[in-house]
Amino acid sequence: MSDNRGNIGRGSRGDAAGSTLGGISGTSAAGTGISGNTAGAPGTGISTGRSSGKLTQGKLALNEKEGVNSSRTSTPGNSDFDNFGADKLREEKFFLAMSNVSIANPLFKSRLFEYFDFDIEKTFNCTKEDIKLADEYWGGISCPRDFFKERDNTDPDKFYENFTKLSAGEIQGENLGKGIKILTYNDPKYPEMLKGIADFPLMLYYKGDFNNVNFDKTVAFVGSRRASTYAKEILGKIVSEFKGLDITIVSGLAEGIDAKSHSSALEYSLKTIGVIGSGFKFQYPSTNKKLYEEIEAGGGIIFSEYPYEMPPMPHQFPQRNRIVTGLSFGTVVGEARMKSGAMISGKLTLEQGRELMCIPGLISNPNTEGVYHLLKNGASMVTTAADILDALGWDIQVENPEKEKLKGVEKQIYEAISTEARTMEELALVLNIDINDLMVNLTSMELKGLIKQSAGSYFIRG
């Protein structure tokens, strides 16, 4: 093996031999796309074929071949008690090492991991014959060209040793590395929703605290980095309506819609999850430094699948997006051009079988072009927190502050339908109001989340 094994960071495609943190030896970080798909879109939908029977058959097929259990590191033989801690440590070493290999190909890694029945050591130590069998099993897994070179240049023991020093703050000048922890697929805290996507990350680096972060009620917000003031105001209003509810806001810690989502969550005492497209050495963009610090200090969790020194690179953001949507029961698109990261997130949301929602904006704004395209193709329109809860099928009541502001015709309409649903014609007759004026007021009240229409009748949103 080469002398620069055991690195914990990226460097620049393996050019940092001898550095304490080093680089990824032979890494083809630019890759050829995400998960082998076109247009940078990772994943192909919800993962299938995870039944124990299918995986066992694959494993048995492997065992009939040579070299399945071969490991380049021997397994220590100790008592059961000693082995418990030793096995966990050993597993973490291989998860960490695997995070340094084929970084731009998460689908390849997740399928290889599944093929080996979620055994990370066998995954890391696979042979070319194993890859051939796995390729046949999956019907093609597109092994990256440099996989074996990168794997052979990564020493699990050295990588783990360097990481623990970094996390403990023992490496001078690398303060942002202090406190980084890891979450492996086999950890009980690994989110179940994330396990449900095809190209799930085998391991995540993270900062922050899992306490009080509800992974069973997660909503993602994505959108333009150059979001309009209008979009950010509406988004802030929607998030404010979640105040007091045990709902977690997920986004990508970018500028614009992402930053507004996180800051609004923190403002209204909601937990938030940020997923970044780089290693923790980079707080990108620098304008979000305060957000990073507030989330890490108790506001939630920041996740990254990238080694510490991996810089933010364009192809990593679409790859990051699959984790944002994968963590979430539904994704809300704020503003988006037709060709944008938010549209990739919308596509991923549908591929992952999750709920896609959009906030309508000004049609004169080019950033709403993508939003209206999604709405025309079946995305749910949302203008309030209650709309999101309805779309997700969550039976949670939201107090609407707009109710206290009702006056005039709107107040009359609200009182008229407070006991029973009424059609527009019935309301016009009961209230003795012009039908055109009534339509204007009904539309306004719907947008405020006060009333809802179904089968031609209007009723108070519960």
Q: What share of the chain is helix, strand, coil (3-state, %, to 5)?
A: 45, 10, 45
Predicted local distance difference test score (pLDDT) of residue 283: 95
Count other Cβ atoms within 10 Å, centred on residue 53: 8
Classify residue 227 by burial, with Cβ atoms within 10 Å: 0-12, 13-18, 19+: buried
Residue type for position 269 = S
Residue 75 carries which DSSP code? P
SS3 188: coil
Residue-level pLDDT at 71: 37
Helix orientation angle between 128-138 and 106-115, rounded to the nearest 10 degrees: 90
pLDDT, one tens digit for every residue, the chain (462 residues): 333 334 444 333 233 333 334 333 333 333 323 333 333 333 333 333 333 323 333 343 333 333 333 333 334 444 554 565 678 899 999 999 999 999 999 999 999 999 999 999 999 999 999 999 999 999 988 899 999 999 999 999 999 999 999 999 999 999 999 999 999 999 999 999 999 999 999 999 999 999 999 999 999 999 999 999 889 989 998 999 999 999 999 999 999 999 999 999 999 999 999 999 999 999 999 999 999 999 999 999 999 999 999 999 999 999 999 999 999 999 999 999 999 999 999 999 999 999 999 999 888 898 899 999 999 999 999 999 999 999 999 988 776 666 667 888 888 888 888 778 889 998 988 899 899 989 998 888 888 777 878 788 887 664
Say what the pLDDT of residue 401 is: 64
pLDDT score at 38: 31
The reply to whether omega before 318 is within 30° of 0 (cis) is no
Q: Do residues 309 and 10 make contact, with C-beta atoms less than 8 angstroms apart? A: yes
**Region(s) of the chain under CATH 3.40.50.450:** 209-392
In the three-class reduction of DSSP (H, G, I as helix; E, B as strand; rest coil), residue 41 is classed as: coil
On the 0-12 / 13-18 / 19+ scale of CB atoms within 10 A, 178 is: middle
Other CB atoms within a 10 A radius of the CB of residue 431 amount to 17
* The dihedral formed by the CA atoms of 194, 168, 270 and 383, expressed in degrees to the nearest 10: -50
DSSP one-letter string for 409-431: HHHHHHHHTSSS-EEHHHHHHHH
Q: Exposed (0-12), middle (13-18) or buried (19+): which is 240, by Cβ within 10 Å?
A: middle
- pLDDT, position 60: 33
**328-337 per-residue burial string, b: 16 or more CB within 10 A, e: under 16:** bbbbbbbbbb
* Sign of the torsion angle spanned by Cα atoms 193, 293, 105, 318: positive
CA distance 426 to 259: 45
Residue 358 pairs in a beta bridge with 333, 381
CATH number, span 401-460: 1.10.10.10
Residue 421, number of CB atoms within 10 A of its CB: 16
Amino acid letter, 268: Y
Question: Which pLDDT does position 55 carry in this prediction?
Answer: 34
Domain 209-392 has CATH 3.40.50.450: yes
pTM score: 0.74
Q: How far apart are CA 159 and CA 144, in angstroms?
A: 21
In eight-state DSSP terms, residue 172 is T
pLDDT at residue number 80: 55
What pLDDT, on the 0 to 100 scale, is given for residue 263? 97
For the chain, residues classed under CATH 1.10.10.10 are 401-460
User: What pLDDT was estimated at residue 84?
Assistant: 56
